[in-house]
Amino acid sequence: MSYVDKIVDGVTDITDDVTKIVDPRTERLRIDTTSPFKLPHLIRPISTMYSGVIWGISIIWALIIASVLISKVGIEAASSQIMSSDSIIMYILAATTANYGTHIGFYFRSRGNEKINAKKAYAAIEIERHKAKVAIKREEMDLYIDKKEARQERKNKKRNDRRN
């Protein structure tokens, strides 16, 4: 097996693993959005607002810690402590920012999907309505043609009767 084949197999395995994880979650989202109850519909906005509040609190906390450090040790020492590779402030800010960004992306992406699906449903209804109108017109046309043929047959019958 070549190196490229191993990479392709590895990517395929990763894709299969991700699909096994993502599919049940998207199914859960579909069930939540079609639920007649309000709470499943409000999960996304509530969780997005909650993560936004946590993100805001973490920024305020980081600013307070930074201002206390600056007042105690000076700006150069405080900035080196805050920006160091093992700074808890940077870990917390990065984690809450990533969490909030994920919620924002999920919220707007799933909201966009809902709008697209609503437009697809509306389009399907309009297509069915158009098909029904076409079917009615065809039936009217068939009825018209049948009446026309019946009239023609009566005329032909009268002509034949007159000739005989």
Domain boundaries, the chain: 35-163
% the chain with pLDDT above 90: 7
Helix (H, G, I), strand (E, B) or coil at 37: coil
Q: What are phi and psi of 84, to 5 degrees?
A: -70, 160
pLDDT at 61: 92
Residue 137 to residue 119: CA distance in whole angstroms: 27
Inform me whether the pLDDT recorded for 155 exceeds 70.
yes
Question: What average pLDDT does this structure show over 15-24?
Answer: 60
Task: For 39-59, write each residue's pLDDT tens digit.
Answer: 767 778 888 899 999 999 999
Task: For 61-107, write each residue's pLDDT tens digit.
Answer: 988 988 888 888 888 888 888 888 778 888 888 888 888 888 888 88
% the chain with pLDDT above 70: 78
Question: What average pLDDT does this structure show over 10-37?
Answer: 64
Kindly state the DSSP code that residue 74 receives in the 8-state scheme: -
* This prediction's pTM: 0.50
pLDDT at 13: 67
